[in-house]
Structure 1
Amino acid sequence: MPDADDGFGELWDAHYDDVLSYAARRVDHETARDVAAETFLIAWRRRNDLPADRPFPWLLNVARNVLANEARGHRRRGLLWGRLRDDRDRHAPVADVATGLVESGRIGAALRRLSARDREALQLVGWEELDPKDAAIVAGCSVKTFSVRLHRARRRLAAVLAELDAEGHRPPITSLQGSRQS
C-alpha cells in the first residue's frame, strides 16, 4: 500500500525546523510559526511541483514569498491604523532576539545601510548557509545572477564597514546573558 501522504511527513520532519528558523530570523517567533505553517500548506497543495532533488531551497522560496505577503499585510494594517489614529509612526515590525543582537553591532549597522536585495543575498549565504545554487532558487534568479548579486553585496558591505570604521562607529558590546528567550 502506498504512503498516504506521498512522503510529505518526511519533508516536514527534514525541513520544518529550518524553515521556521529562516522565518524567525526575519520576524517575531509567533509570526514565524505562521509563516512556516503557511509554507508547508502551500507545499502540500503544490506537492507535485516540489523538486525531488532539492526541496529545501524551493521551501525557502515559498517562505520568502509568504514573508513578503506578511510584510505587505503588516504595512497595510499599519497604514490603516495610522489613518484611524492619525499615528503614522506605528508600523515598525517586531524584531526577534537574533535580529536584535545582530542589529546592535557593527555588522548590523552595516547591513541596515544596504539595500534589501543585498541584505537578502548576504543572509541567505551567511545565516541560512546556502550555497549559491540553492540561494538562487530562494531568490528566484539564476545561479549566475545570484553570484553577481552576492559579489556586489559583499563589496558594498565591505565599503560600508570601512565607512563605519572611518566614522569611529563602535557599538556597545552586548551581553548574551539575559537576552535569550526561554
Structure 2
Amino acid sequence: MPDPDEGFARLWDAHYDDVLGYALRRTDHETARDVAAETFLIAWRRRDDVPADRPFPWLLHVARNVLANEARGDRRRGRLRGRLRGDRATAEPVADIATGLTEGGRIITALRRLSPRDREVLQLIGWEELDPRDAAIVAGCSAKAFSVRLHRARKRLAAVLAELDAEDRPAPVPSLQRSV
C-alpha cells in the first residue's frame, strides 16, 4: 500500500512553488504564503479527492477558493472598520495612470478595468499558462464554457486596450498657418 505521506510530499515538491506563484500574482507576499499553506492543508485533508493524473488544476481551484474566502473576509473586516469609524462607504483604490506608460503597465491597467471573472480567465491562460481544459477545472466550469468565457474576455480586453490607446493619443494641434 502506498504511503500517503510520501505521495503528499511529492505533490508538495512538484506544485508548491507554482501554487505560491499563482497566489503571489493575485495578492501580497504574506497572504500568498498563507494561501499556499491553506491550499496544501486542504489537499492533505482531502487526499483522496486530489486527481492523480491532473493534480495541478485541482490545487489551483482550491487556491482560487482560498483567495476568494480571504477577499470576502477582507471586505467584511473593511466594512466593520468603516462602521466602527462611522464611515458610510469605503472607496476602491484608484488605478495609477502612470503605470500605463509601459506595455506591462498598460496590460495591468487594462486588466484592472475588466471584471474579476474576465481577469481570472485571462490570467489562468496568460500567467499560469494552463490549457483551456485545465483552466476550466480551476474556474469550476466545463471546458466549453471556459472557452466561451475566454473568447469574450479577450474581446473585452482588446476593447479596453483600444480605449487606453485612444486616451494616450495627444490631442491634435491646430495649424498655425495663415490663409491668404
- TM bucket normalised to smaller: 0.7 to 0.9
Deviations 1:120-168 (A, max 9, x none): 0000011111110110000000011101111111111111111111122
Match of 1:180 in 2: none
Match of 1:126 in 2: 126
Match of 1:96 in 2: none
Deviations 1:33-64 (A, max 9, x none): 11001000000111101111000000000000
1: CA distance, partners of 2:31 / 2:83: 24
Match of 1:59 in 2: 59
2: CA distance, partners of 1:90 / 1:162: 27
For residue 40 of structure 1, give the secondary structure of its aligned residue in structure 2: helix
State the number of aligned residues.
Answer: 163
Alpha-carbon deviation of 1:89? 3.2
Which one has a larger percent helix, Structure 1 or Structure 2?
2
Q: Which runs of 4+ in 1 moved over 4 A?
A: none
Contact 1:78/1:90 (<8 A) preserved: no
Contact 1:20/1:36 (<8 A) preserved: yes
Match of 1:36 in 2: 36
Match of 2:16 in 1: 16
Contact 1:103/1:109 (<8 A) preserved: no
For the aligned residues, what is the CA RMSD?
A: 2.4
2: CA distance, partners of 1:65 / 1:12: 18
Structure 1: segments with no counterpart, 5+ residues = 93-101, 171-182
Residue 83 of structure 2 corresponds to residue 83 of structure 1: yes
Name the aligned partner's letter for residue 143 of structure 2: V
Query: What percent identity do the matched residue pairs reach?
Result: 80
Alpha-carbon deviation of 1:84? 1.0
TM-score normalised over the length of structure 2: 0.83
2: CA distance, partners of 1:30 / 1:153: 30
Structure 2: segments with no counterpart, 5+ residues = 94-101, 171-180
Within 5 Å, which residues of 2 pair with 1:1-182?
A: 2-87=2-87, 88-89=89-90, 105-168=105-168
Rg larger in structure: 2
TM-score normalised over the length of structure 1: 0.82
